């Protein structure tokens, strides 16, 4: 059983805003900055994705936060406090870090890997063990695997352990550098969904690096599109970036340009929607969890519907911890779209509602599927969308 103390540590209060203030990095005596006067504010509890071409400075920008790379100029504040004023070794332990190659210690068991930072911080044995057990459960790993070595786990399981290890000491900030880059597409999708569910519960401030725009759009509350030299081309919500790319570089990167205009000529019904895992009031939550575990689930949260299959809201991880599905879901429904809506308006509704996805209803108000910013982004990137359109339609503005 986790102690009171450990349970408290998981509350959402343990997240801090991160502010880059003209943070600059020049490696060695290079005259060109790898990251040039980066200024960016990441609100506490949000996922900020840094996305951009290889070598544009994403990893450098991220590593300046925990000072595994030392800044040349400028500053980074965590919860208002400069990282420069912090002891670098201590700072490193207080910030969760997940790297692409996972980096588990091969000769330590899974449990010992997860306990690494608490041990460094001098936690008592019982507290460390309780926290380790709690995290193994949180990431959905069989407790028996705790005694195995990393090589005895699948890539996806190892990746989960990497996330658990980074979360172990309840960090104020999480740095995740292409955390799912080495995983096959099907498992990557599953890990992304798992992480989003976990994040809805733990509410960490997360810096997430990827070079995949679709992953950025799926995972980010905000996205910083970076260009060569660590300059931010645009910093906005996923929907804003799709609707109104700041310049040609961003347009090219999201594959928008002409395809965006095509959205004005399409209806929601013209695109393949996602199927929502449905949940009914009073249904055992075990049944809903079983649905979520299925590999073809694309929406990370279950949609609560009434007996007529009319959407009521989204269930959270907390809702799912009860025995039966509650009548009042944790999260409001958000925008409800209609199959006949014009795609560009649907995207605008998502933008307005600051939502990553929304339920789509048919004429009777029954659930017809789910439209996500990710579906639109994939559509914009597809060759089909890039074909020239005859109708002249203006560029949408926010």
Residues that bind Mg ion (CB under 5 A): 59
Pairing verdict, β 205-210 and 231-236: unpaired
Find the shortest distance in angstroms from Cβ 210 to ligand ATP: 9
Residue found by looking up tokens 């659930």 in the block: 367
Cα-flanking dihedrals φ and ψ of residue 327, to 5°?
A: -85, -20
- The rounded distance, in Å, linking the Cα atoms of 354 and 146 is 39
Find the shortest distance in angstroms from Cβ 27 to ligand ATP: 3
Rg (CA), the chain: 22
Task: Kindly state the tokens that stand for 134.
Answer: 């709690």
143 binds, among Mg ion, ligand ATP, none (CB under 5 to 8 A by kind): none
- Please identify, using beta-carbon distances, which residue of 59 and 372 lies nearer to Mg ion: 59
Which residues have C-beta within 8 Å of that of residue 202, sequence separation ≥ 6?
10, 12, 167
Span 25-84, contacts to ligand ATP by CB under 6 A:
27-28, 34, 54-60
Task: Kindly state the tokens that stand for 312.
Answer: 């009521």
60 binds, among Mg ion, ligand ATP, none (CB under 5 to 8 A by kind): ligand ATP
- Given candidates 211, 222, 261, 344, which one binds ligand ATP under the rule CB under 6 A? 211
- Please identify, using beta-carbon distances, which residue of 22 and 55 lies nearer to ligand ATP: 55
> Do residues 208 and 176 make contact, with C-beta atoms less than 8 angstroms apart?
yes
Find the shortest distance in angstroms from Cβ 63 to ligand ATP: 8
Q: How many residues bind ligand ATP (CB under 6 A)?
A: 11
Instruction: Express the helix, strand and coil content of the chain in percent, nearest 5 each.
Output: 40, 20, 40
With binding defined as CB under 6 A, does residue 179 bind ligand ATP?
A: no
- Please identify, using beta-carbon distances, which residue of 213 and 376 lies nearer to ligand ATP: 213
Residue 105 falls in which region: left (phi positive, over 0), alpha (psi -120 to 50) or beta: beta
268 binds, among ligand ATP, Mg ion, none (CB under 5 to 8 A by kind): none
- The rounded distance, in Å, linking the Cα atoms of 113 and 149 is 9
- The rounded distance, in Å, linking the Cα atoms of 172 and 251 is 34
Which of 212, 122, 172, 148 minimizes the C-alpha distance to 160? Answer: 148
Cα torsion angle, 133, 220, 192, 19, sign: negative
105 binds, among ligand ATP, Mg ion, none (CB under 5 to 8 A by kind): none
The residue number whose beta carbon is nearest to Mg ion equals: 59
- Please identify, using beta-carbon distances, which residue of 60 and 159 lies nearer to ligand ATP: 60
54 binds, among ligand ATP, Mg ion, none (CB under 5 to 8 A by kind): ligand ATP
Q: Which residues sit opposite 372 in a β-bridge? A: 357
- Please identify, using beta-carbon distances, which residue of 25 and 190 lies nearer to ligand ATP: 25
Find the shortest distance in angstroms from Cβ 74 to ligand ATP: 16
- Please identify, using beta-carbon distances, which residue of 61 and 279 lies nearer to ligand ATP: 61
Task: Kindly state the tokens that stand for 363.
Answer: 């004429």
Find the shortest distance in angstroms from Cβ 209 to Mg ion: 6
Task: Kindly state the tokens that stand for 38.
Answer: 């980066």
Find the shortest distance in angstroms from Cβ 60 to ligand ATP: 3
Q: Please report, to the nearest 10 degrees, the dihedral formed by the alpha carbons of residues 170, 176, 181, 183 taken in order.
A: 0
- Please identify, using beta-carbon distances, which residue of 134 and 178 lies nearer to ligand ATP: 178
- Please identify, using beta-carbon distances, which residue of 30 and 101 lies nearer to Mg ion: 101
| Displacement of CA 236 from its chain's centroid (Å) | 15
Which residues have C-beta within 8 Å of that of residue 385, sequence separation ≥ 6?
255, 259, 262, 379
Find the shortest distance in angstroms from Cβ 34 to Mg ion: 11
Find the shortest distance in angstroms from Cβ 343 to Mg ion: 34
- Please identify, using beta-carbon distances, which residue of 50 and 346 lies nearer to ligand ATP: 50
211 binds, among ligand ATP, Mg ion, none (CB under 5 to 8 A by kind): ligand ATP
Find the shortest distance in angstroms from Cβ 59 to ligand ATP: 3
Positions in the binding site for ligand ATP (CB under 6 A): 27-28, 34, 54-60, 211
């Amino acid at each position: 059983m986790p102690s009171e103390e450990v349970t408290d540590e998981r509350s959402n209060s343990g997240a801090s805003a991160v502010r880059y203030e003209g943070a600059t990095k020049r490696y060695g005596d290079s005259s060109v900055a790898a990251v040039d006067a980066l200024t960016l504010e990441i609100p506490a509890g949000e996922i900020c994705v840094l996305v951009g071409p290889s070598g544009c400075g994403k990893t450098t920008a991220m590593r300046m936060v925990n000072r595994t790379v030392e800044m040349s100029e400028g500053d980074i504040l965590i919860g208002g406090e400069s990282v420069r004023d912090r002891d670098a070794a201590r700072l490193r332990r207080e910030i969760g870090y997940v790297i692409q190659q996972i980096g588990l210690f091969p000769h330590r068991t899974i449990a010992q890997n997860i306990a690494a930072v608490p041990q460094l911080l001098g936690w008592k044995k019982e507290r460390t063990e309780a926290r380790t057990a709690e995290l193994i459960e949180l990431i959905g790993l069989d407790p028996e695997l705790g005694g195995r070595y990393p090589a005895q786990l699948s890539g996806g399981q190892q990746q989960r352990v990497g996330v658990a290890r980074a979360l172990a000491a309840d960090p104020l900030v999480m740095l995740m550098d292409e955390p799912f880059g080495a995983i096959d597409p099907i498992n990557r999708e599953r890990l992304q969904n798992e992480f989003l569910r976990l994040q809805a519960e733990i509410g960490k401030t997360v810096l997430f690096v990827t070079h995949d725009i679709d992953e950025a759009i799926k995972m980010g509350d905000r996205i910083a599109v970076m260009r060569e030299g660590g300059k931010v081309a645009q910093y906005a919500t996923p929907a804003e970036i799709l609707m109104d790319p700041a310049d040609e570089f961003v347009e090219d990167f999201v594959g928008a340009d002409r395809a965006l205009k095509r959205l004005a000529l399409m209806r929601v019904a013209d695109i393949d929607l996602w199927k929502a895992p449905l949940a009914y009031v009073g249904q055992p939550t075990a049944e809903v969890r079983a649905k979520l575990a299925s590999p073809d689930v694309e929406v990370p949260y279950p949609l609560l519907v009434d007996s007529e299959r009319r959407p009521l809201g989204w269930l959270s991880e907390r809702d799912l911890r009860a025995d039966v599905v509650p009548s009042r879901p944790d999260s409001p429904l958000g925008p409800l779209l209609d199959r006949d809506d014009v795609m560009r308006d649907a995207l605008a509704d998502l933008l307005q509602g600051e939502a990553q996805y929304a339920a789509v209803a048919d004429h009777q108000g029954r659930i017809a599927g789910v439209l996500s910013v990710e579906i639109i982004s994939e559509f914009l990137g597809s060759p089909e969308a890039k074909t020239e359109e005859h109708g002249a339609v203006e560029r949408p503005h926010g």
